[in-house]
Amino acid sequence: MLQSNNMDAGSNLDFWGERVDLAASFRWTARLDMHEGVANHFSFAVNEKGTQFLMNPDQMHFARIKASDLIIVDAEDPTTMEGPNAPDATAWGLHGAVHRMCPHARCAMHVHSSYATVLASMVDSRLPPIDQNSATFFNRYVIDEDYGGLAFEEEGSRCASLLSDPKKKIMVMGSHGIMVIGKTIADTFNRMYYFEKACATYIRALQTGLPLRVISDEIAESIASQLDGYYDQDYRHLEELKSILNEEGSKYDT
């Protein structure tokens, strides 16, 4: 992982590289208008068990979050929710459950991005493989058909139970949004980014009213398999975004 030029500014904080990556992800998600202002949350597990995780502080806009702002929450210790800037109860309910129940989910990003949320609002929330981007997710997402309201503890646990298969790294949360998981911050952000792009292509294609060109299951699975862990594209993607932020003088890495 490339270190930020402002590493010294956070030398007294643990997991600095991860903090920088997560802060960059918040900033770029805001730039792409895939955020909800001061709502939605990203988290990254920092202990071996996966139950302690970095998360954005309560009610801070994605576009302002810095590496040093991120707090550590313990999914097995409810008293961490009494600390300063502790996230709201829905963040605890959803992300806490994911990190307790899904050790393969080192990172979790929950957004209500426009096109993915349109997909989640449709009776049929499947994403057919109509192009290379959408084929990337063939058989690699799960649809939550039983939205139960705000993601407090019971609802969060129900949602997390749907992510038990490590192969399925996206949950289309019916009538809600999406939850994306991954092994690294770069991996998860990259997946979230391309899922939104795939949803945008699909929704716009539907708007034409014309028949869709759907890729066969065999070819779609081949594409998805080939793109699983494709080189270090996810890492390079995030590093390029950080370079742009650095060139602009952003303070995300302080």
Instruction: Specify the DSSP class assigned to residue 4.
Output: P
Report the residue count for the chain: 254
Cα–Cα distance list, 32 to 25, 100, 144, 193, 248 (Å): 11, 30, 25, 9, 16
pTM value surpassing 0.85 = yes
Q: What is the dihedral of CA 14, 16, 21, 25, to 10 degrees?
A: 60
Going by C-alpha positions, the residue among 33, 24, 79 that lies closest to residue 56 is: 24
Instruction: List the domain boundaries for the chain.
Output: 7-247
3-state secondary structure 108-130: EEEECCHHHHHHHCCCCCCCCCC
Cα–Cα distance list, 6 to 45, 68, 195 (Å): 23, 11, 31
Are 81 and 153 in contact, with CB atoms under 8 Å apart?
no
pLDDT score of 149: 82
Query: Pairing between strand 107-111 and 41-45?
Result: antiparallel
Q: In sequence order, what are the residues at sequence separation of 6 or more whose Cβ sits closer than 8 angstroms to the Cβ of residue 45?
A: 51, 52, 53, 99, 105, 106, 107
Domain 7-247 sits in CATH at 3.40.225.10
Instruction: Specify the DSSP class assigned to residue 66.
Output: -
pLDDT score of 12: 54
Are 74 and 80 in contact, with CB atoms under 8 Å apart?
yes
Q: Which helix (H) or strand (E) holds 53?
A: strand 52-55
pLDDT score of 90: 87
Q: Strand locations in 141-223, DSSP E?
A: 141-144, 170-173, 177-182
Q: What is the pLDDT along the chain (254 residues), one digit of tens a residue?
A: 333 334 344 445 899 999 999 999 999 999 999 999 888 999 999 999 999 999 999 999 999 999 999 999 999 998 888 888 888 888 889 999 999 999 999 999 999 999 999 999 999 999 999 999 999 999 999 999 999 888 788 899 999 999 999 999 999 999 999 999 999 999 999 999 999 999 999 999 999 999 999 999 999 999 999 988 776 899 999 999 999 999 999 999 99
Q: What are phi and psi of 86, to 5 degrees?
A: -60, 140
